[in-house]
Amino acid sequence: MDDHRMVVLGLRTLFHNRPEVDVVAYAHDAEEAIAACREHSPRVAVLDVALEGSAIDGFELCRRIRADLPAVDVVFYTGLDELGVAERAFAAGAQGVVSKGDSPGDLLKAVLLASRGRSFTSPAFAASADGRDFQELSPKQLTVLRLLAQGLERKEIAEQMGIGEETVKSHTTEVRRKLGARTSAQAVAIGLINSLFEPA
């Protein structure tokens, strides 16, 4: 779904030429997108961040689709290229983020990966930010980050790892510090963007 009709036409050409992709609907604003997802239950929805003529942006649309139809994965296709855009996209529940400056093949790859429950991040978003010590994350800290990405609460993580809740809290604090994240959701997004772990 994209608010620019020329982009939609380009996507139509891209996807219709691929036998492994079955396009079930197009939409030009948030309301149409939600209605189309409810009617067709697509495996993957392609969204833009900026939605002209809509009361909400793509991040909120993603959250609503994922809450209403959790079986529908979301891939963002956006002209915005700041690192924070990708973090917000993953935090909203997206499975992939692709820049409009990338090749059409990258978008196709992201959609196909999302259909198999895997993530994809455009190289435009994948650069590590200064002050993020990815290499210094311990195995246990990476495990905590991966379990946070699965939606587990602190008590559940403690039980699964066989450690105390306070230890989980300590690991989570260190993960956020090393990744420069303000929240656990942002830490998970940074982890996904930089391929620190495979999504569940």
Helix, strand, coil fractions of the chain, as percent rounded to 5: 50, 10, 40
DSSP 96: E
pTM (two decimals): 0.69
pLDDT confidence of residue 58: 93
Lowest mean pLDDT among 30-39, 121-130, 134-143: 121-130
Domains, the chain, ordered by start? 5-121 (3.40.50.2300), 134-193 (1.10.10.10)
Give per-residue burial for 55-87: e unless 16+ CB within 10 Å, then b.
eebbbebbbbbbeeeeebbbbbbbebeebebbb
Q: What is the average pLDDT score of the chain?
A: 84
**With 70 as the cut, is the pLDDT of residue 4 above it?**
no
* Per-residue confidence (pLDDT) for residue 3, from 0 to 100: 47
Is the pLDDT confidence value at 117 over 70? yes
Q: Which of 120, 30, 18 lies closest to 77 in space, CA to CA?
A: 120
pLDDT tens for residues 46-69? 999 988 778 899 999 999 999 999
